[in-house]
Amino acid sequence: MSKASLTRAVEFPAGHRYHRPDWDAARNETAFGKCSGAPGHGHNYRVEVTVRGEIDPETGMVVDLTVLDRLLRELVREPFDHAFLNDQPEFAGGVIPTTENLARVVWGRVSPALPDACSLLRVRVLEDRNLWADYDGSGS
């Protein structure tokens, strides 16, 4: 059998604010700069999910794209589309919605939902063309 990886992307606009409520305004400003200011700011995010598995000899695919597309729609695009990320359950309790943490959150949503025939290799979250984070599940 041959293994391959496949990457699928979704895009959505969302807002966030880098702010720790246990810090005063000056400390937040020092740590996070203009990203700490209320009410927050937004990005047009691109999330790329890379899966790896055996190429099915009958279909020639690592994963059924309709299944992967449904998972990405239901678990990533729809809940985050035009959302304020700080309000998402995974960012409760002071977890800052950084690009790195968003990649980790996407991993936590998508990885357990994938079909058994493939595994999640990487999640890449791009805030813009000059800033992105990759997460590979290490330490999760």
Which of 48, 58, 82, 118 is an active site residue? Answer: 82
Mean pLDDT of 26-44: 95
Using one digit for the tens of pLDDT, what is the confidence trace for 81-135? 999 999 999 998 889 999 999 999 999 999 999 999 999 999 999 999 999 999 9
Active site residue 43: no
pLDDT in tens, 54-65: 999 999 999 999
Instruction: Give yes or no: 29 in active site.
Output: no
Percent of the chain with pLDDT over 90: 95
- Asked whether residue 42 carries a pLDDT value surpassing 80, the answer given is yes
Domains detected in the chain: 3-135 (3.30.479.10)
* Active-site choice (16, 19, 43, 127): 127
Which residues lie closer than 8 Å to 8 by C-beta, 6 or more apart?
48, 49, 51, 65, 68, 69, 72
Whole-number Cα distances in Å, 117 to 8, 22, 47, 66, 131: 16, 44, 22, 15, 32
